[in-house]
Amino acid sequence: MVPLRQAVGPPLARAAGICPRTTGTPRLPTCRRNRVWSVIRYLRRLLFAGMKPHHRPAPQHSPTVRTAACPPIRNARRFSHCSGRQIRRDPIHPHEWGESVRTPCYGSPMSDASHSTRFLSRKPLMVTGLLLMVSGALAYFWIYVRPVPHDMPDTVSPDALHAALTPDPSLPIDIAHTDVLVIAACTLRQDRMGVYGHKYPTTPFLDRLASQGVVFEEHFSQTPWTRPAMGALFTGKWPRQLKLDNPGAGKGFTAVLHPDHTLIAEVMASQGYTAVGAVANPNLKTRFGFSQGFSAYFEPEGTYKERTPIPTADEVVNNLLSMAAEVPLDQRLYARINVLDTHLPQKYTRRYLKLFDAQPQRLAKYDAALRTVDAELARLFTELRAVRPNLLVLFAADHGEGLYLPRHHGPEHGNYVYRTTTQTPWIVYHPALPEPGRRIRGRSMNVDVLPTIADLLGISSPASVNGASQKAAILAQTTAAAHIYAYSETFFRKRHLSMVYDGQHQLIRTYTKPTETGPYTDQMFTAADWEGNTDVLLDEPAQASHLADMLTQWEALSLVLSANGPDVVNDNVDESTDDMLKALGYVD
């Protein structure tokens, strides 16, 4: 075996602290020159020392030497690492000095086979193992965890977008003429949008869309994770009634939407619409029941391990536009899209990150991903409206995101029902809406989306829908939304929390065990305390008691509806879907 000192060479050996001396010899100042680059080169050679050693001619074992410029060494068997002129020393007559010679720094008589083997079997192998572990961790982060920046050019001209947003009061909203686009964003926190008060330009297109439409200010999701939240949005039913989010929903997130539950796409298809859909979140794949009623449906395929990750917004938009283009213009279109770029690991256009770099990186990346989504939705809207001018658009989201803002809300979603993860955007647009730019106060929920679409188009909603139509508020027939209270709950990862919000206070109930009944504790926060920092439950007992009663009644109703509904359906998750769910944090 080639001694390690010969494999890596004297300059690198000196830089790494393995100069030709036995253990314990003090390091001299000359060993610290060019340390950074020398250590880097040393580590690079060290990784391949055992496979492809750097061959150097082994120096002949000569008597002990020292450099004239270095101090004498007491033990003649130890060597100085100094370079330069060396002086031969006679081991038989140690006090007599001979002629001056040039001796390589690595030429140590102590580098015998046993010493080199012992040295090579300890430190280098330990360092090599550590480097391999670090490299593996970095590779895992690079493939599975890191945000994915990608550059996309702006594809929508200002003139085209302006033309697409131009009002046209002559266009009717009815079942005979109106095309429908439902945008269901994923992991979109309401207060990160400009239209809801964010100071950074994250959503310029959606802000303009809202200025020509109607904005619901106190809109809530029914649960803070995707599958049951989207189920509630597309069916108008409580998540527990759908049995997608309760203790009986199955293990490993295998619960499937029962075919007896009617989706918006099925309602529209029954009225003669051609339904096309494109989704990025694997929770909305066909195997979970979310493609019911669609004639064409794009969903993520492949596995994350194969480097076929979750589709980005541009890919989803391209697929939806391609499917919509195949629908004849004389046929009415129902289109549904789901984008996922704001979900960890965020995917964003690189140049947008510079707009938000004054913030912490976790917030800057989230905002950059949101800006990326906004740009792609602008392209989708502009191209669709160019060929289908009578277009009704409903923009909503499944849930928000904790973002560690504040810290006790956590980094993601699912485990909490604070307003950061349950209060979501809802924007409704049509070119003929009266008084565009109105903001609706009062509570609305995702379960209202289906009955609102049906009511606006003049058709009947399916039976057993729990939501209420917001048509009156959208058409300026009232100034308030239809609900007094908004509700949400979660059973995510063996946690059970529920909440009720009345516009003045939010009451959060935390169960000790993940059951539908059992011991629990309540907290109450004022509407101004968005972050949930100060519990006022004991300060306002009357209001706390009232909200607790309302939440108890809603939970009891949900339990009855769940018991009377169809049985839960479970399915084994295929490898592709399982990999994607793991990558998104839904499955351990």
* Confidence (pLDDT) at 271: 96
If we measure between CA atoms, which residue out of 248, 235, 210, 103 comes closest to residue 562? 248
Q: Is the pLDDT of residue 25 over 70?
A: no
Give the C-alpha separation, 502 to 547, whole Å.
Answer: 8
Q: Which region among 109-123, 184-198, 323-337, 573-587 has the lowest average model confidence (pLDDT)?
A: 109-123
Half-sphere exposure of 203 (CA within 13 A, CB side): 26
* Confidence (pLDDT) at 563: 76
Sign of CA dihedral 209, 176, 237, 294: negative
Contact by Cβ (8 Å): 41, 49: no
Percentage of the chain lying above the pLDDT 90 cut: 49
* Confidence (pLDDT) at 68: 42
- The first and second tokens of residue 300, run together, are 């993520």
Sign of CA dihedral 414, 417, 422, 423: negative
- The first and second tokens of residue 319, run together, are 């697929």
Q: Which region among 194-203, 259-268, 328-337, 352-361 has the lowest average model confidence (pLDDT)?
A: 352-361
pTM for the whole thing?
Answer: 0.72
Predicted confidence (pLDDT) per residue in 276-299, tens digit? 999 999 889 998 999 999 999 999
Half-sphere exposure of 514 (CA within 13 A, CB side): 12
Q: Which residues, in sequence order, are CB contacts of 497 under 8 Å at separation 6+?
A: 415, 416, 417, 489, 490, 508, 509, 510, 511
Q: Which residues pair with 179 in a beta bridge?
A: 391
Q: Which domains does the chain have, with CATH numbers?
A: 4-139 (no CATH), 146-583 (3.40.720.10)
* Confidence (pLDDT) at 115: 44
For 300, other C-beta atoms within 10 Å of its C-beta total 22
Radius of gyration of the chain (CA): 34
Give the C-alpha separation, 429 to 444, whole Å.
Answer: 16
Q: Is the pLDDT of residue 130 over 60?
A: yes
Q: Is the pLDDT of residue 508 over 70?
A: yes
Predicted confidence (pLDDT) per residue in 350-395, tens digit? 889 989 988 888 899 999 999 999 999 999 999 999 999 999 999 9
Predicted confidence (pLDDT) per residue in 196-253, tens digit? 999 999 999 999 999 999 999 999 999 998 899 999 999 999 998 898 875 544 444 5
Residue 300, preceding bond cis, omega within 30 degrees?
no
Q: Which residue has the higher pLDDT, 52 or 338?
A: 338
Mean pLDDT over residues 9-34, rounded?
A: 45
Q: Which residue has the higher pLDDT, 70 or 555?
A: 555
If we measure between CA atoms, which residue out of 396, 332, 11 comes closest to residue 193? 396
Q: Which residues pair with 276 in a beta bridge?
A: 296, 335
Contact by Cβ (8 Å): 54, 45: yes
Give the C-alpha separation, 570 to 477, whole Å.
Answer: 44
* Confidence (pLDDT) at 113: 44
Give the C-alpha separation, 316 to 560, whole Å.
Answer: 38
What's the mean per-residue pLDDT of the chain? 78
**Max CA pair span of the chain:** 113
DSSP 8-state assignment for residue 483 = B
Exposed/middle/buried for residue 14 (C-beta within 10 Å: 0-12, 13-18, 19+): buried
Exposed/middle/buried for residue 319 (C-beta within 10 Å: 0-12, 13-18, 19+): buried
H/E segment holding residue 230: helix 226-235
If we measure between CA atoms, which residue out of 92, 89, 110 comes closest to residue 100? 89
Q: What is the distance, to the nearest Å, from the Cα of residue 279 to the centroid of all Cα atoms in its chain? A: 16
Percentage of the chain lying above the pLDDT 70 cut: 67
* Confidence (pLDDT) at 37: 63
How many degrees, rounded to 5, is the angle at CA 263 between CA 438 and CA 172? 40
If we measure between CA atoms, which residue out of 444, 12, 380, 371 comes closest to residue 192? 371
If we measure between CA atoms, which residue out of 543, 470, 552 comes closest to residue 506? 543
Give the C-alpha separation, 18 to 9, whole Å.
Answer: 10
